[in-house]
Chains A and B, each alone.
Chain A
Amino acid sequence: MSVVQLENVSRWYGNVVAVNDISMTLEPGVTGLLGPNGAGKTTVLHMMAGFLAPSKGSVTIDNAPTWRNPGIYRTLGLVAEREAVHGFLTAYEFVLACAKMQKLPDPAAATRRALELVEMTSAQDRRIGTFSKGMRQRTRVAASLVHEPQVLLLDEPFNGMDPRQRVHMMELLHRLGDEGHTILFSSHILEEVEQLSGLVQVIVAGRLAASGDYRRIRRLMTNRPHVFAVQSSDDRRLAVALIGEKSVSGIEVEETGLTVRAADYGSFTRALPRIALGEGIRLRKVLPSDESLESVFSYLLEA
């Protein structure tokens, strides 16, 4: 059982702050590190993995600093985002080399076990250079699992995987988490985290925006007001009708159409066509205008 701890960690590059005063504790189980692209997820992971010194604060695994401490790689496995591998080696050779560099007592057995875990045994004697993205990814996971590390960090592990491989990887991570490993994976796709019921840490613009149970954060996100751009044959009459609807919390009338704020996504989208039909108004355009991931995250930041 290992615990990864970040205490008041900041990291800046020149005068650009990439990570701003983040404190978090990762315990055994699966944790998702969530945030839009460029939020600082990779920087946090790199600091945890000992590939970057924190400008301020401390990053430790079981109280041992990760920076300038190669010994931590006995308890730590990293699957980096860059999928660079030694393409001239076969999957078996590559994982075996990792096992040997970990100085395992029986590298061959550990290699076979790791390749079985990621279902790569059938292709293990092919050169990695010939692999698809998903196969390469699984080979890299095998390589970082070969020494059965207590802590496993994965940077965007689901990128380039097909749905079946995704499910399989999720199951694998869950199994490892249930066995008492501390697993952290980063993702910029909310739905990926949905299947993992565990804890999430949400990073927005270098700051920790939310942290805790995924369901609670999900609720925060469904409660946020939704903004729609609506165009119709008679905007002003539609606005009058819509304001009587309970799920609508505000309407602006503009030259180009209406901007409608709804408190509840579901009931508003059901009510809108009904009201329009009842009033005999033709809807020309209904566009959810803030469904981008960034707006979801920034809402969390304000919440």
Chain B
Amino acid sequence: MSTVAYITARGLFGRRRVLLLLPLPLLLVGLALICKAYDVSPDQWGQPVVVGLGLAVVLPVISLIVGTGVLGSEVDDGTIVHILTKPLPRRDIILAKLLVAAGVSAVTAAVPLFVVGALANSVRFGLALAVGAVAGAIAYSALFLLLSLVSRRPVLLGLAYILVWEGLLGRFVSGTRVLSIEQYVITIADKIAPTGMLDGKVSVPVAIVMTVIFALGGTIYAINRLGSFSVAGETS
């Protein structure tokens, strides 16, 4: 399992794609710093920066880049065959990939969110955002890992989920919020550090249970899909 994780991590950081992870966190922290430097009241910039940019864009997009990068890119270029032709339980392969994806996304998203939370309100709020981001990173990673196995266009599907389902429908159709990881993150962070800045639309039990369902369900289904992974008959 460690070898799969090692190759996955090398693959992730060896591609130029990893540079995509930099601008969003920098933008997030930069915006917060500018607002702080000009003494703008956190009541004005807190919500748009933390929720509008941090939780609605930075966390899911980073998870998408990483989550589809750990498996989807190997499926794309065919190198996955080298890992699949080993007598490893498919569970170990998925868990190793998920570990790398969730770990990298969690660190990349939680650190800037912590900084922004601390600047906007308090260290406690920063920690709450970081905890929420870690939970969200795990759920998002499981979802996007699964998408890389069920579709040839995981990035497109993932973007549709983030932009259309969570971003657009979540605003107008209240029912879709129950299946929105962003809402779970908001609820969890708000429960740990109530500030008035976050406005959770789902209850705390729903948020926790659904996060676990996304993480576990995505993982189990992905293991099953990898077990019957087919290589399309390419005859040149």
What is the interface of chain A, defined by CB distance below 8 A to chain B?
A: 13, 18, 37-43, 46, 49, 51-53, 67-68, 70-74, 76-78, 80-82, 84-86, 88-89, 94, 97-98, 100-103, 143-144
Q: Which of B7, B10, B84, B86 contacts A51 (CB 8 A)?
A: B84
Q: A81-B236, A94-B82, A97-B7 are in contact. List 13 more A-B contacts (CB 8 A).
A: A37-B235, A39-B235, A41-B235, A43-B233, A67-B228, A70-B227, A71-B87, A74-B87, A80-B81, A85-B79, A86-B79, A101-B86, A101-B88
11 A-B pairs, CB-CB below 8 angstroms? A40-B235, A46-B231, A51-B84, A51-B230, A68-B228, A70-B86, A81-B236, A86-B7, A89-B7, A98-B82, A101-B3
Q: Which of A18, A39, A70, A88 has the most CB of B within 10 A?
A: A70
Q: Is the CB of B228 within 8 A of A13?
A: no
Q: Is the CB of B3 within 8 A of A70?
A: no
CB closest residue in chain B, given A149: B85
Residues in B with CB closer than 8 Å to A73 are: 85-87
Q: Is the CB of B85 within 8 A of A49?
A: yes
Q: Is the CB of B230 within 8 A of A52?
A: yes
Q: Is the CB of B88 within 8 A of A51?
A: no
CB closest residue in chain A, given B227: A68
Q: Is the CB of B6 within 8 A of A97?
A: yes
CB closest residue in chain A, given B90: A70
In angstroms, Cα B192 to Cα A91, docked, is 49
In angstroms, Cα B79 to Cα A88, docked, is 12
- A90, chain B: closest CB distance, angstroms: 11
Residues in A with CB closer than 8 Å to B39 are: none
Residues in A with CB closer than 8 Å to B229 are: 51
In angstroms, Cα B229 to Cα A37, docked, is 24
Q: Is the CB of A70 within 8 A of B88?
A: yes
In angstroms, Cα B7 to Cα A37, docked, is 34
- A108, chain B: closest CB distance, angstroms: 13
In angstroms, Cα B85 to Cα A72, docked, is 9
- B144, chain A: closest CB distance, angstroms: 21
Q: Which of B82, B86, B87 contacts A85 (CB 8 A)?
A: B82
Q: Which of A18, A78, A84, A102 contacts B77 (CB 8 A)?
A: A84
Q: Is the CB of B87 within 8 A of A37?
A: no
- Which of B191-236 touch A at CB < 8 Å? 227-231, 233-236
Q: Is the CB of B81 within 8 A of A82?
A: yes
Interface string of B59-90 (1 = CB under 8 A from A): 00000000000000000011101111111111
